[in-house]
Amino acid sequence: MEITLKEGLRYFAEKVVAPEDTAYRYGSGLVEVFATPAMVGLMENAAMNAVLPYLPQGYGTVGTAVCVTHVKATPVGMKVWSVATLVKVEGRRLHFEVAARDEQGEIGRGTHERCVVDVAKFASRVGRGA
């Protein structure tokens, strides 16, 4: 399978921060603010969706690396969004720049890598512990 993704693909993912998205609920903190793991999940969602429409049927991506900073707290009820931009393609390995914002400004940024996989084959290998 040949990957023909073009650098510059991007996607915006957004949500309103709910109680289940907080550091307290994730167990990563003691405060009811948008959790870093939830922010990373939003960034990964944006990266996944940036390329998914351009992959062959039956193919998807899995996250392989994340390096981000989370610089500002966001309260429950505020809208947050992330943008992921594909900046480099190395065969099946995809490199993204990711950023997240809330209604008051930037809350995080960094890089994320994903790998293109045949979903059925990947799931089969995981199922047998390989």
Catalytic residues: 36, 44, 70
- Residues facing 11 on adjacent strands: 84
* Single-letter residue type at 76: V
Burial of residue 76, with CB atoms counted within 10 A of its CB: 0-12 exposed, 13-18 middle, 19 or more buried: middle
- Residues facing 86 on adjacent strands: 96
Instruction: State the DSSP H helix or E strand holding residue 43, giving kind and residue range, or none if neither.
Output: helix 36-51
The distance of Cα 51 from the centroid of its chain, to the nearest Å, equals 12
